[in-house]
C-alpha cells in the first residue's frame, strides 16, 4: 500500500470519517522526524483517532506499537487503516490515564489527545519512556500547550524543542490556485534523561 520509507502518507489513502480526527500528513512527517525513530523501536500513540499516526509508527519502527483512544469509533477506524496498510498494533480502548500504567517501557510516544488532562497524561507517558526515549506532543489548543510545557519542565525533560507549524495546501478555483491554511499545530518534543 505504501512502499516508501518516508513518512507523510497522503491523507486521501486513509479511511476517514467526519467524527474521528486525523493528524494531517505534513504534521505526521514532522512528528516522526522529532521522534528520531529506529527500526525495532516500540511506540505509543495516545489519542490515535483515525490511526494515521499509528500506521506511520508501525511502518517506521516495525516494532511494538500501542494505540490508545477512548472512542470506540476511533479504535474501529484505526483497525481498518492498520489492515489497509498491512501492519498491526495493539489497540486499546480507554482513557490514557488508565491504560498507560499497564503498558511496558517503550522508546517513543506521541501525545495527540489528552481530553483536557494534558499534565497527567504527559506525566504517565514519560513514566513509560525508556531512558533516552522521545516524546512528541502535538496540539492545536493553547490550553494543552500551556499544560504540556509545564509538565515537560516539571519532569525535567531534555532536548526540548518547541515548533509551531502552519501549513497551507493548494486548491484549484475558477481563476487559478489558492492556498488554504490549516490550523496551526504546536509540536513539543523532548527526551527522557
Domain that holds residue 74: 20-191
Closest CA to 12 of 163, 174, 167, 169: 169
Residue 9 falls within a domain, yes or no?
Answer: no
Q: Is the pLDDT of residue 116 over 90?
A: no
DSSP bridge pairs for 67: 45, 91
Residue pLDDT, tens place only, 180-189: 998 999 999 9
Confidence of residue 1 (pLDDT cuts 50, 70, 90): confident
Q: Region 84-89: what's the mean pLDDT? A: 97
**68 domain-assigned:** yes
Q: Give the integer Cα–Cα distance in Å for 92 and 35.
A: 22
Nearest to 112 by CA among 81, 76, 82, 74: 74
Instruction: List pLDDT tens digits, range 34-79.
Output: 999 999 999 999 999 999 999 999 999 999 999 999 999 999 999 9
Give the domain CATH number at 178: 3.40.50.150
Whether 80 is covered by a domain: the verdict is: yes
Structural domain count of the chain: 1
Q: Which of 189, 43, 156, 63 is nearest to 107 (CA)?
A: 43
pTM score, whole prediction: 0.94
Helix (H, G, I), strand (E, B) or coil at 86: coil
Kindly state whether residue 11 falls inside one of the protein's structural domains.
Answer: no
Residue 143 forms part of a structural domain:
yes
Whole-number mean pLDDT of the chain?
95
Amino acid at each position: 500500500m505504501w512502499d516508501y520509507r518516508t513518512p507523510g502518507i497522503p491523507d486521501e489513502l486513509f479511511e476517514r470519517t467526519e467524527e474521528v480526527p486525523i493528524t494531517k500528513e505534513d504534521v505526521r512527517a514532522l512528528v516522526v522526524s522529532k521522534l528520531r525513530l529506529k527500526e525495532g523501536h516500540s511506540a505509543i500513540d495516545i489519542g490515535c483517532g483515525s490511526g494515521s499516526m499509528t500506521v506511520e509508527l508501525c511502518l517506521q519502527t516495525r516494532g511494538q506499537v500501542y494505540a490508545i483512544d477512548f472512542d470506540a469509533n476511533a479504535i474501529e477506524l484505526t483497525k481498518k487503516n492498520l489492515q489497509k496498510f498491512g501492519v498491526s498494533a495493539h489497540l486499546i480502548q480507554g482513557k490514557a490515564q488508565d491504560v498507560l500504567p499497564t503498558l511496558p517501557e517503550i522508546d517513543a510516544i506521541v501525545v495527540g489527545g489528552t481530553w483536557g488532562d494534558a499534565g497527567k497524561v504527559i506525566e504517565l507517558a514519560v513514566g513509560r519512556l525508556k531512558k533516552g526515549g522521545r516524546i512528541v506532543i502535538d496540539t492545536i489548543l493553547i490550553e494543552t500547550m500551556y499544560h504540556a510545557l509545564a509538565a515537560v519542565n516539571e519532569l525535567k525533560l531534555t532536548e526540548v524543542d518547541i515548533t509551531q507549524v502552519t501549513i497551507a495546501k493548494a486548491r484549484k478555483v475558477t481563476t487559478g490556485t489558492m492556498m488554504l491554511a490549516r490550523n496551526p499545530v504546536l509540536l513539543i518534543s523532548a527526551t527522557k534523561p
